[in-house]
């Protein structure tokens, strides 16, 4: 009798385990095919998107103000005046931007320029490597993107990014908009929730419908955007002709943002 009960419990245990794992096994066997999507025929595509910023044309806070404004406006980035701020596109001095290439006797004008700071959309992004949930990931077109709904807010990516490109929503982002601003939020792009990380996304949502990044459009020709893997693209042409720098090349991340000096 006892033997029978033991057998029964064993059988029940194995059966329960099989029932629990069956869906996962079935899913794994299916190869995880994503649902089919219909592409926008007008959408822009590339093997590796890259940006070149002409710092001889964009050099003062005033030059950058409209670019930052349009970026933060269309992505509903709140303005927070504390060290817990959120920013996608902002500016820094030469020393802050090119920390590894200091030069105390540099040309005054170069030294006084402001330089655009944003996510570098690295070829080899440390933030993607460290993320424990794949909430930040590299798309096939080279853009490092975020899934705000999967992010657990561990902020490991912020420690991992050598460029300080990432911001964390310490507070509820919508609390930082006035009544008026809330009415004018861009309904085409989600506001984020508290407790997740965010950063520049190279305007993936605009590329998908055939528009170039908002800052590039607002720069009136002082920023170039294109496919780094296409020798005929505008970015490759500029990179051939002009002297450019990238931030912290020694980090081995292969940034996709170049600065014409």
Partner 1 sequence: MLERALKGSPRYYGWIGFLLVIIAIGGAVWINQLMEGLQITGMSRDVSWGFYISQFTYLVGLAASGVMIVLPYYFHKYKPNKHMVIFGEFMAIAACIMCLLFIVVDIGQPQRMLNVIFHPTPNSILFWDMIVINGYLFLNILCGWVCLEHDRMRLPHPKWVKPFIIISIVWAFSIHTVTAFLYQGLPGRHYWLTAILAARFLASAFCSGPAILLLVMKLTEKFTNFQMPKKALHTLTTIITYAMVVNMFFFLLEIFTAYYSQLPGHTHSITYLFAGEHGHHELVPFMWTFIIFAAASLALLIPPKLRKNQKILPWALGILIIATWLDKGLGLLIGGFNPTPFGTITPYWPTGKELMISAMIYAVGALVVTVLFKIATSVKEDMGHSQALPCGCSTEDKCECTPAEEAA
The least distance separating partner 1 from the CB of residue 44, rounded to whole angstroms, comes to 29
| Nearest by Cα to 197 from 146, 129, 255, 161 | 146
DSSP secondary-structure letter at 36? P
Q: Which residues pair with 197 in a beta bridge?
A: 168
171 to 200, contacts with partner 1 by CB under 8 A?
A: 171-172, 193-197
Residue of the chain from 129, 184, 188, 220 that contacts partner 1 (CB under 8 A)? 129
51 touches partner 1 (CB under 8 A): no
Spell out where 104-195 has E strands. Answer: 115-117, 136-138, 144-146, 167-168
170 touches partner 1 (CB under 8 A): yes
Is the CB of residue 235 less than 8 Å from the CB of residue 257?
Answer: no
27 touches partner 1 (CB under 8 A): no
* CA–CA separation, 241 and 54 (whole Å): 12
79 touches partner 1 (CB under 8 A): no
Pick the piece of the chain touching partner 1 (CB under 8 A) from 44-52, 144-152, 209-217, 234-242.
144-152
110 touches partner 1 (CB under 8 A): no
The least distance separating partner 1 from the CB of residue 147, rounded to whole angstroms, comes to 10
Per 3-state DSSP, the chain is made up of helix, strand and coil in percentages (nearest 5) of 35, 15, 55
Pick the piece of the chain touching partner 1 (CB under 8 A) from 4-12, 105-113, 155-163, 235-243.
155-163
233 touches partner 1 (CB under 8 A): no
118 touches partner 1 (CB under 8 A): no
CB nearer partner 1, residue 125 or residue 226: 125
Element (H, E) at 244: strand 244-245
CB nearer partner 1, residue 51 or residue 86: 86
* CA–CA separation, 182 and 231 (whole Å): 44
Q: How many residues comprise the chain?
A: 261
Give the tokens for residue 39.
Answer: 């592409």
Residue of the chain from 48, 78, 88, 126 that contacts partner 1 (CB under 8 A)? 126
101 touches partner 1 (CB under 8 A): no
* CA–CA separation, 254 and 141 (whole Å): 15
Q: Binding residues for partner 1, per CB under 8 A?
A: 82-87, 92, 95-97, 99, 126, 129-135, 150-156, 158-164, 167-172, 193-197, 248, 251-253
């Amino acid at each position: 009798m006892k033997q029978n009960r033991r057998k029964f419990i064993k059988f029940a245990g194995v059966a329960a385990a099989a029932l629990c794992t069956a869906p996962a096994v079935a899913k794994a066997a299916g190869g995880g095919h994503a649902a089919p999507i219909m592409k926008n025929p007008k959408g822009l595509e590339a093997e590796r998107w890259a940006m070149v910023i002409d710092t001889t044309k964009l050099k003062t806070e005033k030059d950058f103000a409209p670019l930052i404004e349009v970026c933060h406006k269309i992505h509903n980035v709140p303005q927070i005046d504390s060290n817990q701020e959120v920013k996608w596109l902002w500016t820094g001095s030469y020393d802050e931007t090119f920390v590894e290439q200091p030069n105390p006797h540099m040309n005054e004008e170069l030294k006084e320029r402001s330089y655009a700071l944003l996510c570098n959309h690295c070829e080899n992004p440390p933030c993607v490597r460290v993320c424990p949930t794949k909430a930040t990931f590299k798309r096939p077109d080279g853009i490092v993107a975020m899934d705000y709904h999967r992010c657990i807010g561990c902020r490991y990516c912020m420690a991992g990014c050598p460029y300080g490109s990432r911001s964390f929503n310490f507070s509820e982002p919508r609390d930082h908009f006035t009544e008026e601003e809330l009415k004018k939020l861009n309904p085409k792009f989600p506001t984020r929730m508290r407790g997740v990380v965010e950063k520049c996304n190279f305007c993936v949502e605009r590329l998908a419908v055939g528009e170039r990044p908002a800052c590039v459009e607002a720069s009136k020709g002082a920023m170039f955007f294109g496919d780094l893997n296409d020798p005929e693209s505008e970015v490759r042409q500029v990179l051939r002709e002009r002297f450019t720098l990238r931030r912290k090349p020694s980090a081995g991340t292969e940034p996709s943002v170049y600065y014409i000096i």
